Chain A
């Protein structure tokens, strides 16, 4: 993999963290540069930075202490190097860790937005108003969508469901936040989780009370502006006993102004008989055909099935980012709890993905299912890395893992790295893996029925991903299908 451009230090000003607020990299190119010095932390990361962030957000002392503890842990840690990724070294001191929301600093109208970007939105079928929001245009349409969120919030409040920004949760529901923050992903879990714990900007908070079935899909989509405030989001989602919630995360459009590190943490807690479905469609900017730019997506996502019969399912469609490092996992603590991971990951051009899951069977009769579909095109490198661990007390634990890789072209790579650790003799662990190439016969068959090369490829790829796509909420599945097609553009012919 030494021929990959990612191993080289990118052009000046394209340091992954540099563009955070400085307008480096693509942020500059697309006209998002604005003088916002007054609202920035000084570059670099030390205790002062953490205090600055916490003070800016008006946080209580306990949270500042929590951040500082995380920061001190982080100082003693080093970035993980076990993934099959080539990562240009990141200078964490050269970056800026706090910037005020960009509201009002973006382009004033759609005319000022890069037409290429708009074309992509159009291809994705995103309505005009939302396209404006996604491009960061400070027009009323954006705020329309904020008020939409507020409307839903009232409806949800009637059911006792809390759905708000992380910052708001800290102010309004400090007890819940304190009880669960860091309870699934400890601060010192890994380098990026520690970094996030120290400097996280904002994120989402969800609490569904006992026995309540959340009547609608919750989505960060409505709060796209808030999500843009930082690359260190923190999501905390709690389903109390017998509650049900389905959550959609992500932005299905390229975020060209955020050409840098994205280190989020997501924690899910499902109590007895609760069920959480968490779906992500990730399409951050992947960099150009030569591997310049793009997001480094280092995300820690984990759910704990804390009560008996709790269920957590992760579904993800990962098409963006220059580098994806992501292992949404389940801690199956409660007896009879159930974990699932459904994933589609695409790498095209010089994209790299190292993604998978961890299923940790702790309670009795716990079961987990893993379906992973990796698609590599161009010179993309795609690794499935998954761990199944069965602890000594997990009587009757079962896991089924199916890992399929699809190669498009000759220069890409697919890798499967399963770690199976079984400490209970009765555990039933199955692993199946396949690697196939898009066959010319399939392409020709489709073309002989009138489908263009692009449509044929998209059809075959969507078919390959079927088992995962059907786990996504309906409206998301349609978007995901279009996204797959867009992501693979230019990979044949």
Chain B
């Protein structure tokens, strides 16, 4: 299977700071689910930010190929339109902007890029109805401004709802499980599981093994101090649960 994402010796830092990512290697093929685990401050969010193209980061070495193209050369919005989706650890509030309106703008931006016709209001509504069932999201949430006044759980659910609508090729879920109670975790995980697809890869970032009971990954990696220090299959997560990260150290 050809690779969707190939990360080679990726080094990056916040502009002007010290390197946070110190040589990441990771290959992701379509259909695969990779979990990236690791302690707080390991660089997990930095990795997702760099992949999504967040300004303020500086790549100091290495390369990232996405569908064979140099991902790092693309601006964030183009990466998104090319099928990369980042579910934010802390989704951002946009006052006064209707959630549905926002989503439709996003969806149509991607469709324009692919040369697909834009969805009009009624086509869009139909698509929304289909996906809503997936995530147990109330109509009310759609009528409100983007993330404004949403509870932590609602924000995370909204992220996955966006993912369902945008149908990315590569979804990066940054701590989507954090702040969720067990019921919400189940709903969100069910949603993600339904979005698993042979043509879609998912990178699950978490520091709790708990999430992996619900979304079972194909591969598990441990990120520590800016490097992937250990990798394994789905059983590796359970092993980590017992042994912790500490003994893995910061192997080269």
Contact = CB atoms under 8 A, between A and B. Distances in A.
Contact of B109 (A440, A445, A450, A465): A450
Given A444-B54, A447-B76, A467 B96 contact: yes
Interface residues of B, number: 31
Interface stretch (B21-29, B85-93, B202-210, B234-242): B85-93
Nearest to B91: A445
Interface in B133-148: 145-146
B76 A448 contact: yes
Given A450-B80, A451-B77, A453-B77, A445 B94 contact: yes
Nearest to A404: B95
A462 interface: yes
A464 B106 CA distance: 19
A75 B117 CA distance: 63
Would you call the interface of chain A mostly helix, strand, loop, or mixed? helix
Would you call the interface of chain B mostly helix, strand, loop, or mixed? mixed
Nearest to B106: A449
A459 B76 contact: no
Contact of A463 (B53, B56, B77, B96): B96
B103 to A, nearest CB: 8
Interface residues of A, number: 24
Given A444-B54, A444-B55, A449-B102, A463 B94 contact: yes
Nearest to A466: B96
A455 B75 CA distance: 14
A109 interface: no
Nearest to A467: B96
A442 interface: yes
A451 B109 contact: yes
B214 to A, nearest CB: 25
A455 B76 contact: no
Contacts of B97: 459-460, 462-463, 466
A440 B55 contact: yes
A447 B88 contact: no
A453 B166 CA distance: 19
A448 B81 CA distance: 9
Nearest to B113: A450
B92 A442 contact: yes
Contact of A459 (B54, B105, B110): B105
A217 to B, nearest CB: 23
Contacts of B77: 447-448, 450-453, 456
6 cross-chain pairs, A with B, having the tightest CB-CB distances, nearest first = A463-B96, A466-B96, A463-B97, A449-B106, A450-B109, A445-B92
Interface of A: 439-442, 444-453, 455-456, 459-460, 462-467
13 contacts: A444-B54, A444-B55, A445-B94, A448-B77, A448-B88, A449-B103, A452-B109, A455-B109, A459-B97, A459-B105, A462-B97, A463-B97, A466-B96
Given A465-B96, A466-B95, 16 more contacts: A440-B55, A442-B94, A444-B55, A446-B94, A446-B106, A449-B80, A449-B102, A450-B110, A451-B77, A451-B105, A455-B105, A456-B77, A459-B94, A463-B96, A463-B145, A466-B96
